[in-house]
Amino acid sequence: MGEGLSIKQFVTEVKKGNISVLEHTEKILSEAEQSNSQYHYFNLIAREAALKQAGEVEASIKTGRNKGMLPGVPLSVKDCICVQGIESRAGSKILSGYEPLFDATVIERARAEGAIIIGKTSQDEFGFGTFNTNVGIGFEIPKNPHDIKRCCGGSSGGSAGFTALTKLTHASIGESTGGSIACPASFCGVVGLTPTYGRVSRYGLIDYANSLDKIGSMGKTVEDAALLLEVIAGYDSNDSTSLKQEKDDFSKIEPSKLKIGIVKELFENCDAPVKKECMNAIKKLGAKTQEISLPLNAKYGIAAYYIISTSEASTNLARYCGMRYGLHEKLEGNFNEYFSKVRSNGFNKEAKRRILLGTFARMAGFRDAYYLRAMKARTRLIREFKEAFSKVDVLANPTMPIVAPTFEAIEKLTPLQQYAMDLCTVPANLAGMPHISVPVAMQGKAPVGLMLTADHLQEKKMIQAALAVESACK
């Protein structure tokens, strides 16, 4: 019941009355609960709320009132996205006990189409990480569904991990700042779709970096991820960065051969087996290809990204001071002493590191030298992308330069080496361009993902190419 079915197939069977929404919801909740002790994909499983919603959806189907696109489809949600009445902590101890009084716009839209919210998934604290090992104090690190000695990738690791693990119909809403959808999708062997910045409303998102954050979708197939994006995308007056763009039928696109640009620098800096599998996937398409060089993005992308993202994170995290919501301590000492105590006890090591980096970069004496220079560089990096898209339809490169590393290997990396792992995903995120990671092969127990990037608002072209890749690599 619900095993091996795409979302469209599942919805068809639900509307025919062949699948019970309540029974399917109970089954996937039980699987989430049983697997969580070993894999740690969920920070919270919303059993009571999910079953109540499933009952309402099932009743609406029986009476013929439910015309939604996702009736009964279980959705997991990254912990940094607000769900009304369900603890939403962005993976941080400092937000313990915070239960939003409202749904994020993406949750509201998914519910309106009949989707069932089953829980909040694990992430690096506030999205600060590449491997989902920088979880908040008191949280468990998720394990790769293909090999528990390896990481899931971050920061949407829980979303990707459970999507890969379950055989039941399921999709997940993730979020990306510098590659937090594509990276775990690649490491776990699922599809991760990150839209153009502004295509999906950020209202109700617990921010990492406002000018970079993008909510997207994760699914077992390109079609599943595209359908979920179709549901959650669209203009929202609650979000000043939301684009007034008409909704597209992302799930009704047919595979097509497009001209593909092979990004020279992003292939050169990858492990040989990863490079080989990605090149093989492109060759299987039989599409026209052209080598594209993005030297500025390869050289300056990571530096610009980390200056901008940590500066914005430093500003955003200033609100977590123990006064309005989340972690509180005994009121004693002066303001600085109290706030420092709360933040010292509430943030993990990586969060503190990024707050310090960002605060330094935006200080009066250094703002021009670091933050403003990084913003100017970003404009030039976008221009380099635009020049590339005048020659090709989509760009292709390995999603990550390596397969999912073991936890033992991660412990040996310095923070700077961990940041460098974002080489392939950061440029598209910094430019706000849509991109998708599609699984193309396995290296032993570890999946390899190919990332496709399109120009702003060209998700249709990107999905066309992704469908072709998916079909060629089956």
Query: Among all residues, which ones are annotated catalytic?
Result: 78, 155, 180
Q: Helix (H, G, I), strand (E, B), or coil: what is residue 464?
A: helix
Reduce the DSSP state of residue 153 to 3 states and report it. Answer: coil
Given a contact cutoff of 8 angstroms between Cβ atoms, the answer to whether 235 and 242 are in contact is yes
* Pairing, β 74-78 against β 191-194: unpaired
For residues 231 and 70, give the distance between their C-alpha atoms in angstroms, rounded to a whole number.
Answer: 9
- Tell me how far the alpha carbon of residue 76 is from its chain's centroid: 12
CA 302, CA 377: separation in Å to the nearest integer? 11
Query: What contacts 24+ positions apart, CB below 8 Å, involve 421-424?
Result: 421/130, 421/131, 422/130, 422/178, 422/179, 422/183, 422/302, 422/305, 423/266, 423/269, 423/298, 423/301, 423/302, 424/179, 424/266, 424/269, 424/270, 424/397, 424/398, 424/399, 424/400, 424/451
Query: Could you give the maximum distance between any two Cα atoms of the chain, in Å?
Result: 68
Residue 81: both structure tokens together: 């996205």
For 57, the token pair is 């959806």
Q: What DSSP string runs through 337-375? A: HHHHHHHHHHS-HHHHHHHHHHHHHTSTTTTIIIIIHHH
What does the alpha-carbon distance between residue 232 and residue 215 come to, in Å, rounded to a whole number? 9
| Residue written as token pair 């609406």 | 60
Q: 378: closest CA among 457, 304, 428?
A: 304
Backbone angles phi, psi at 196, to 5 degrees: -55, 140
Side-by-side strand order, sheet with 171-176: 42-45, 116-121, 74-78, 171-176, 214-219, 191-194, 435-443, 446-454, 394-398, 260-263, 289-292
Whole-number Å distance between alpha carbons of 281 and 258: 14
The tokens for 94 are: 């400092």
Q: How far apart are CA 129 and CA 184, in angstroms?
A: 11
Q: Please provide the DSSP assignment of 309-323 as one string.
A: HHHHHHHHGGG-SSS
